Structure 1
Amino acid sequence: MGATPLYIGSEIYRGSTYGPGHPLAIARVSTCTDLCRALGWLPDAVYREAPLASLEELARFHDPDYLAALKRAEMWQAVSEADRARFRIGADGNPVYREVFRRPATSAGGVLLAARLTRDGGIVHCPGGGNHHARPARAAGFCYINDPVLGLLAWRDAGIAPIVYLDIDAHHGDGVEEAFFNDETVFTISVHEAGRWPFTGAAAERAGGAARNLPVPAGFNDSEFRFLCEKAILPLIRDLGPRAIMLQCGADGLEEDPLARLSLSNNAHWWLIDQLRDLAPRLIVLGGGGYNPYSVGRLWAGVWATLNRFALPERLPTAAEAVLRGLTYHRAAGRNPPAHWFTTLRDAPREGPIRPEIRTLAARTLEPDRPACYA
């Protein structure tokens, strides 16, 4: 993949919030974009503005009645009891907010654009994508439109196969796995915290042979992450020989994240991207979860650096530091942030012992599918 990587962003994320007190009342994509620009990594030649996906494009996966309900919710800034009950808009942590249709439709438009831009090969970073929980007619897990599914379908519709979807969010990529159940063209792999919402993704779950799930214990560290990748995930991907890889690069597996109990540093994510970059002619890297604006912005900016093989500065220049100092974070950790949240992109590595359950999980991942009676 010799072409220069491309970056897809949008100004719709700037100032957009799910509302006070919600985990997504933070700046994420705009922080990543601003850091990349402040570091001189994002010239206009490689930046693309995400378009708003059309209703026709969204209906490739989503129920038209559901899409109409999202549009009504945005227009009225309210939701009827019938729509709430049927579509879970305004329920279960999926609030009605100012851009409740336009923002997820823009995320989807960005991922669809990424799929088009990589039709003949290439690399795209689209941090606004990665909303992996949404169902065809239901909001779930802060996700309203399942942009990874739409992007994967666009690749598949273009005759690109096989495809690997790799999800390293702290939460199981349930919506994507369901969408491609028993689909021989799209293979999903999810690394996520065991016992965490949505309480799916057990190691035995294989989606009819189209998935592998790696539920990991709390405290999952960089050493264990590399072990799972080297002993299970990367060999599996090489064996599949994909023509395209989509990575959902959620930041909620980082130790600083408030909604999970994993202990990764951002070095783990960047190391994996370095391994994936040459395994297929096409690579799209999405965002996903992440609820600490400092850790999310720094991680996703480092993703862009890794894709371009840019060297990370030991200390951020003044303009980049100002981006981070301008953030607000109302959780306890935001009252007295450590200095490195402002001055560096790279976390200290979080190495540790490789526990027996991680070794067992790696071995189990490479086992062939067994008849259902033995699962």
Structure 2
Amino acid sequence: MAKCARNLHMTKNASFIFSKEQLEYSFSDTHPFNQKRILLTLDLLKKSGAIQESDIIPPRIATDAELLLAHDHKFIDIVKKAGKGLLHGNVGDVYGIGTDDTPIFPNMHEASALLVGGTLTAVDEVMEGRSKYALNLGGGLHHGFHGRASGFCIYNDSSVAIKYLQEKYGARVLYIDTDAHHGDGVQWSFYDDPSVCTLSIHETGRYLFPGTGNITERGNGTGYGTSFNFPIDAFTEDESFLNVYKTAIKEVTEFFKPDVILTQNGADAHYFDPLTHLYGTMAIYKEIPRIAREIADQYCDGKWIAVGGGGYDIWRVVPRAWAHIWLAMTQDSAPTGPLPADWLAAWQDQSPVPLIPTWEDPEPLYEPIPRKAEITEKNEQMLNRALHIIRNEQRIK
């Protein structure tokens, strides 16, 4: 009996934060940011037998006090008014509300605050010892600023969560962002904070929104040396991407020594993604979360919180990519071969493109790139320049 009682209080490997209300963060049926991808991912996991109902925890809505950890009260008020139809004229323009990227939709404050609350729920699950890892695919809105929405992002759940981790748990936080777009909103929120380290691997801003994330953006004041950017070249393929990722994450984690890791897992570095110019395949999405878990286990006693992010091919890419995060957290081996036939049957009629029927991408996925060697060399040179500050400081110590 005592043995059963102990088991009841054992820490779970992972918690999956989800409720259907997360799908209400919806700009329009034609907007590229489509939260149906969360439903597709969860259904893939269920039909693969990889998740149980007991693993799923509903998110809570973040309070105004929690949102104020990273956002201005005037901005929060504007979002509330917009969602109630009380914003008139061009008042929202200066706040990034009512634009093509972030059009107004009903109850946008409540829907946005729920995504933030989902990430806070994940934080509490991990930091209070109920789960070793936690995943909130509804989060990852890394372009939101203190007083302005940007790039499909209204409230920045990661920025709020990091402040929350600092204030409630006194944690030293490493934020790792592998979205194809630079994690600008999170970086600037902690640019002068030495207790938060931001690491972003993204497509160079020469051709892609938001145009920031240069290797020279290293932090400010006492925070100098805690901002790391690894802008990779357009058309980068798996091998070069993973070389940058593996090297960067290991060196930065060893340098910073965090108490907890928060990863943003945009799935838009894939060849099929319509908004970016990278040539990744499912191979990188199999490796990214497994390496993150290994690093968290080695340096943070396993404390790892993961959120979603970009990913605009919601049918062929995002469900498979995001399923790998959960599978890494539950320490299941990476799946191979056919996807569940009942998942393919359930969703193919709704998909505007033929679904990929296997966990792996078909080979070849694209024509060979003539500049592969040049791109790989440029990424290697960038990586060495970006890590120069770490190596110098380690020598000084």
Query: What TM-score comes out, normalization by structure 1 length?
Result: 0.89
Alignment-derived partner of residue 395 in structure 2: none
Q: Choose from 4, 16, 26 the match for 1:7.
A: 16
Give the Cα separation in 2 of the matches to 1:147 and 1:267: 27
Check whether the contact 1:163–1:245 (CA below 8 A) recurs between aligned residues: yes
What aligned pairs does 1:167-206 form with structure 2 within 5 A after superposition?
Answer: 167-194=177-204, 195=206, 196-206=208-218
Alignment-derived partner of residue 348 in structure 2: 325
Q: Deviations over 1:115-169 (max 9, x none)?
A: 1111145201111000001111111000000000111111111344321101011
Give the Cα separation in 1 of the matches to 2:250 and 2:349: 38
Give the Cα separation in 2 of the matches to 1:70 and 1:191: 30
**Aligned-residue offset at 1:270:** 2.5
Q: Choose from 358, 378, 383 the match for 1:344.
A: 358
Alignment-derived partner of residue 112 in structure 2: 104
SS at match of 1:5: strand
Q: Choose from 85, 88, 95 the match for 1:80.
A: 88
**Aligned-residue offset at 1:362:** 1.5
Check whether the contact 2:184–2:213 (CA below 8 A) recurs between aligned residues: yes
Give the Cα separation in 1 of the matches to 2:379 and 2:124: 37
Alignment partner of 1:52 is 2:61: yes
Q: Which amino acid aligns with 2:257?
A: G
Give the Cα separation in 2 of the matches to 1:159 and 1:108: 18
Alignment-derived partner of residue 139 in structure 1: 149
**Aligned-residue offset at 1:88:** 1.7
Alignment-derived partner of residue 328 in structure 2: 306
Alignment-derived partner of residue 36 in structure 1: 45
SS at match of 1:247: strand
Q: Which runs of 5 or more residues in structure 2 are unaligned?
A: 1-9, 393-397
Alignment-derived partner of residue 5 in structure 2: none
Runs of 4+ in 1 over 6 A off after TM superposition: 349-352
Q: Answer with 123-132 or 348-357: which moved more.
A: 348-357
The structure that has the greater radius of gyration is 2
Q: Choose from 264, 289, 310 the match for 1:289.
A: 310
Give the Cα separation in 1 of the matches to 2:79 and 2:28: 17
SS at match of 2:165: helix
Check whether the contact 1:79–1:96 (CA below 8 A) recurs between aligned residues: no
CA RMSD after TM alignment: 2.3
**Aligned-residue offset at 1:9:** 1.1
SS at match of 1:366: helix
Q: Rate the CA distance shift 1:236–1:321 in 2: closer, same or farther, 3 A.
A: same
Q: Which amino acid aligns with 1:248?
A: Q
Q: Which amino acid aligns with 2:214?
A: A
Alignment-derived partner of residue 127 in structure 1: 137
Q: Answer with 261-270 or 186-195: which moved more.
A: 261-270
**Aligned-residue offset at 1:99:** 4.1
Query: What TM-score comes out, normalization by structure 2 length?
Result: 0.85
Q: Rate the CA distance shift 1:313–1:216 in 2: closer, same or farther, 3 A.
A: closer
Q: Rate the CA distance shift 1:213–1:348 in 2: closer, same or farther, 3 A.
A: farther
Among all aligned residue pairs of Structure 1 and Structure 2, give the percentage whose two residues are the same amino acid: 28
Alignment-derived partner of residue 3 in structure 2: none
Give the Cα separation in 2 of the matches to 1:143 and 1:95: 11
Q: Deviations over 1:306-363 (max 9, x none)?
A: 221224151122322234425434xxxx3xx3x5x2x223335889656211111111
